Amino acid sequence: MKTLILTLPPHIPGGVATKARILADHLKQSGHVVTIGFYAARGKYPDLNVSALSSLAGGAPRSQVMEAFGGHHCVAIGCKIPELEHRYTAPSPLWADLIHAHDRHIAVGGTVLMARPLVAAGVRHLVWCAADVEGDRRARRRSMGLLRSGFDRYFVSHQLKRQEKRVLSDDANRIMGVSPFSLASLAAVQARDSSTIAVLPIPTDMDFYSPASGSAGKLEMPVIGFAGRLDDPRKNPELLFQSVAALRAQGSPVALHVTGEPSPRLRALADKYAITDHVRFLGRLDAQALRDFYRSLALFVIASDQEGLAIVGIEALACGVPVISTRCGGPEAYLTDGENGYLCAFDAAMIAERAQTLLASADLYGEFSKNARASVLETYSRAAFEANLAEQWTGLWGEDLKCQPKR
């Protein structure tokens, strides 16, 4: 069985790339011949796209075969006028040729937009997504200048929302959201029959992400952490830094460790809240180092404006680290307020108060830490993911996901 996954370019870090690789690995292990198709972002693949100026001369976009997402066979698809973001996922002959060369199709993205070429091709397909278009772009827009923000709101986002409605209105697909919040945000855009939607969380390797042998000393010089693209405005870095400053103002000797490199904006925020000497940027971490990072933390904090799921919170919990999160959507599926962490308003004082409550009591901290792993062990395991995906596959195509070996 030749199966095609449509997704974002592999150089864009985050949950989408994680989902695409997990899915591709599982399908390959199940006997599928997997291809991953992704749009060729103009900054990374300029030769595959035709700019607005070049299109006047009759230029044609191209595709390129390569390996990515951990060695999977991939095809990058160029487009005309990539300056307009909605053109990446607009139907085209290149997309159509790739789609019709495969038997089964799945779109994987932050939103449902990657399914637009599949809808145009008229094929049945699964869609694995995290949020609606407006929710995905709202925080980004706030970081834009006035002119760019206006152009995004009244043109770019308008075009993307039209594509979103077309996908959600299609009766040849099944929508799989990474959390109940994902499905609720999409239902607000377009109501769907409940039989065509399901929650499919991003799985976590519970054997790999596990607690350290002991947590002695974690509360003496506590480290708060965050993993992810902190420079993404949706992650709300200012609230995170402000919360750490508020916690230190209460007399707690906390430090903040975050993955990734410090941008000028992040350095400026650290200076603004006078925590420069207490923030450490760890760079890009491989899987082993990321697990060690989680294990070193006293608390993991998610200050985001919106999260479809925030798999980093699940990984932290699996390592026995309590999580404090804003009520930003996805984390509300796995955080039980007052048991394995806290859910907070978008308020630095509240986040700091909740953190101080945990850090001040070894008994309470131990209880939360014990609850942390137990709360995610089954729902977010690989086994649960595989069973759930198999059910959605059979529901759409009436067949087993696992391919039978040829005789």
Domain residue spans of the chain = 2-203+381-397, 223-376
pLDDT at position 214, please?
65
Average pLDDT over residues 142-155: 78
pLDDT at 63 over 60: yes
Q: Mean pLDDT across the stretch 156-185?
A: 94
pLDDT band for position 406 (cuts 50, 70, 90):
low
Give percent of the chain with pLDDT exceeding 90: 86
Mean pLDDT over each residue of the chain, to the nearest integer: 94
pLDDT beyond 60 at 407: no
Neighbouring residues of 359: CB distance < 8 A, sequence distance ≥ 6: 219, 222, 252, 254, 298, 299, 365
> Which superfamily is assigned to 223-376 in CATH?
Glycogen Phosphorylase B; (3.40.50.2000)
> By CB neighbour count within 10 A (0-12 exposed, 13-18 middle, 19+ buried), where does 213 fall?
exposed
Q: Which top CATH class is 2-203+381-397?
A: alpha beta
How confident is the model at residue 61, as a pLDDT? Answer: 96
Tens of pLDDT, residues 129-142: 999 999 887 777 77
Mean pLDDT of 256-280: 95
pLDDT for 147? 79
Does residue 216 carry a pLDDT above 70? no
Q: Which two tokens stand for residue 267?
A: 């350095």
Give pLDDT, residue 405: 64
